[in-house]
Structure 1
Amino acid sequence: MAFKLPSVYNRLMVTKLSTKFGEAVKFVSQPIPTLGSSEVLIKNRFVGINASDINYTAARYDPTLKLPFECGFEAVGEVVSTGDKCKRSQIGQAVAYMYPGAFSEYHVVPEAFVMPLPALKSEFLPLIVSGLTAAIALDKVGEIRKGETVLITAAAGGTGQFAVQWAIEKGCHVIGTCSSDKKVQFLKKLGCHRPVNYTKEKLRDVLKSEYPDGVDVVYETVGGDMFDTCVKSLALHGRLCVLGFITGYESASGIAPMHTVGLPALLLKKSASVRGFFLFHYTTHFQEYMARLVQLSVEGKLHSTIDDGSGHSSGPFYGLESIQSAVEYLYTKKSIGKIMVDLTPNASMTSRL
């Protein structure tokens, strides 16, 4: 199979360091690149939006980045060209990848980062960053075990939905926080045992009255007051996994203020721990866990919920030009599941795979 490639393609490039995504990026047209011997050229179809997209445009993860640089972490697409030493990738193959620069019509990716898919379908997109984060963090850092109580913050979000399902699959009792009754219903459909709408109930009070012995594992992505509450609600030998602190990402420092006083003493008296998790420190597990997530999805045991922005004033999200709106939408707290942009221009909803 051969693809007729354009001479140029469009991508988003970061030209200014800022947490304001629209101010940070510009559209750039570039010639189709020449591949290295172990590289793959992928035509992107679906790209995912992540809270950390604005951390990346602010160069918080890698202060050594020189402007301009690429952005976007993940995509599902189709292989259209391969280097002469590529062994696993075939032209026309559906693939997923996690590699900087995904906000682009085409992208060159080292073959080692390419993960095969059974079909070019949007349902596999949330498994990349969100699914891998949930599964690897809960297994390797949270060390969840059957019968434990697990608290998932921002449980109706892109990664939260998988953390809920993964913990349930492991035989845990799952508590999930969210910000609306609509999200409560969504969490119930996922099987979450105790959804908590924190705009109507105080999480601290719910945990104190319903879980007096504390929670064994916390999957924490919010930060600030939420982090404080979670630390104080840990059980004996409890583990709190810090995956981020989204409430602070738009601030100048990028860190949500916390008010936990005497953290060492709080942990000591319960033999508890706070553990950090950064997905790219676990790259050796990507292929294994992605294969497991895809298989569970195909078998109908793991459900990927996608938010294409239909409920947003500028949605649904199609084409590179809608990525800015999609990033802004994430911070409205109105999205459910993984926010996705379909790079097919002017596509209709019925044409989606």
Structure 2
Amino acid sequence: MASGLPSVMRKVVVKSLSVNFREAIEVTTCALPKLKAQEVLIKNRFVGINASDINFTAGRYDPTQKPPFDAGFEAVGEIVATGDRVPSNLLGKSVAHLSNGAFSEYQAVSSERLFPIKSLKPVYLPCLVSGLTAKLALQSSAYLKAGETVLVTAAAGGTGQFAVQLAKLAGCHVIGTCSTNEKVDFLKRIGCDHAINISKEDLKHVLRTTYPKGIDVVYESVGGETYETCVNILANKGRLIVIGYISGYQDPMGVGNLKFARAAAALPVKLLTKSACVHGFFLFHYADQWKDAFLQLSDLLENGQLISTIDLGKSVNGEGFKGIDAIADAVDYLYSKKSIGKIVVDLEAPGSSKL
């Protein structure tokens, strides 16, 4: 192990399967990983919080995986050691990576899975799970055309913010749903043409009266009644992309326990009569496209064509979410529906030395 590094680290481990993240995990102390020849050791500085973190702790992504296993999907950090077959000039470089076990102070990652970034800033982190999902889902399934109408649900969230902006860059009219006036203002700032506060407005009524010809493309992550409304409002040849169903994540039975799942029987007729379609999108099926898509998003960000908004949790905790022990609080914050943009935890604990 390189000199100057600690002998131990802390990480989040899933100890039991549950949709209750706080009950499912524990923060443990262990030795730093030993590097394989093609790996680098990254000191993770910023980690991203995702709605699907509780799907992971519930064992929904890989039912064969049994606890204990490491949690977390994405991080931004600094390379602090390299394996024997990795160029030593990578030491000190800032990188982003999308790897299981990211809720860890240090992490061994294959050098082939690194995304180079210009500086150690948290604004790059939303370009990982959230940005890649929006870009690749729209790219693979939306077939956007200038002038089309696009609806983004949960538009003020981590991935919604990217879907809004990418659809605008494609020349579309963009509608976004959200739950507070503050989020309405945020959506307008990032270019959303029509922000709907569903805590005050009836989504079904607004869409039917304002868009009587229907919606061309829907980027949908909420599920339940929202999903049903979106299916019913599709225009002829409309496309609906399902990238999540957050309304069912906290249910121990998942989406199958929601009453709206029973409406699936009517779906074929609804699609047939409109020549419409519903696409599912799961980011980890598109791993071969991550690097190119991330670089494209980074270029848009650095050229000022894309805004990457992060939420460090300072509205609920004055110093923000800092240190690995704050990760459970950050997951709770996401499900409080108060966050705007991507929730990020700074792993540099209060009072610790700077990178």
Global fold match (TM > 0.5): yes
* Residues 230 and 274 of structure 1: CA distance in aligned 2, closer, same or farther (over 3 Å): same
Counterpart in 2 of 1:205? 205
Identify the residue that residue 305 of structure 2 maps to in structure 1. 301
Contact persistence 1:39–1:83 (CA under 8 A):
yes
- Normalised by the size of structure 2, how large is the TM-score? 0.95
Aligned to 1:165: 165
CA distance in 2, matches of 1:192, 1:24: 37
Q: Decide whether aligned partners of structure 1 residues 87 and 133 sit closer, same or farther in structure 2, where only a CA change above 3 A counts.
A: farther
Paired amino acid for 1:76? V
Q: CA deviation at 1:140?
A: 0.8
Matched, 1:338 2:342: yes
- Contact 1:44–1:343, Cα closer than 8 Å, also in 2: yes
Deviates more, 1:140-149 or 1:221-230: 140-149
Shift, 1:167, TM fit? 0.5
SS of the aligned residue for 1:262 comes to helix
The AA in structure 1 aligned to 2:220 is: E
What corresponds to 1:182 in structure 2?
182
After TM superposition, the runs of 4+ consecutive aligned structure 1 residues lying more than 3 A away are none
Q: For residue 3 of structure 1, report the CA deviation from its aligned partner.
A: 5.7
> Secondary structure at the residue paired with 2:90?
coil
1:329 to 329, 333, 345: 333
Matching of residues 17-36 of structure 1 within 5 Å: 17-36=17-36
The answer as to whether partners of 1:314 and 1:325 remain within 8 angstroms in 2 is no
CA-CA distance at 1:66 after TM superposition: 2.1
1:103-151 deviations in Å (ceiling 9; x for gaps): 0100111222211101111111111111111111111122222211110
The corresponding residue for 1:124 is 124
Q: Measure the CA separation in 2 of the matches of 1:315 and 1:60.
A: 33
RMSD: 1.8
Q: CA separation in 2, counterparts of 1:154 and 1:4?
A: 44
Alpha-carbon distance change, 181 to 88 in structure 1, aligned in 2, over 3 angstroms = farther
Distance of aligned partners of 1:300 and 1:252 in 2 relative to their CA distance in 1, 3 Å threshold = same
The amino acid of 2:198's aligned partner reads Y
Q: Which residues in structure 2 correspond to 1:1-353 (within 5 Å)?
A: 4-86=4-86, 90-255=90-255, 256-258=258-260, 260=263, 262-313=266-317, 316-346=320-350
| 8 A Cα contact 1:318 1:347, kept in partner | no
Alpha-carbon distance, 1:85 to partner: 2.2
Structure-2 separation of matches of 1:143 and 1:311: 38
- Output the amino acid matched with 2:133: T
Secondary structure of the residue that 1:44 maps to in structure 2? strand
Deviations 1:314-347 (A, max 9, x none): 8610000100000000001111000000001106
Residue deviations 1:227-249 (CA, integer Å, cap 9, x gap):
00000000111110001100010
CA–CA distance in 1 between the matches of 2:89 and 2:114? 8
Query: SS where residue 196 of structure 1 aligns?
Result: strand
Asked whether the 8 Å contact 2:348–2:354 carries over to 1, the reply is: no
Change (3 A) 1:352 1:48: farther
Identity %: 53
Say if 1:331 and 1:89 are closer, same or farther in 2 by CA, change over 3 A.
farther
Q: Is the 8 A contact 1:94 1:120 kept in 2?
A: yes
CA contact (8 A) 1:89 1:111 kept: no
Tell me the distance in 1 between the aligned counterparts of 2:112 and 2:250.
33
CA shift, 1:276, in A, is 0.2
8 Å CA contact 2:45, 2:347 repeated in 1: yes
Once the 2 structures are TM-superposed, how far is the Cα of residue 75 of structure 1 from its aligned partner? 0.2
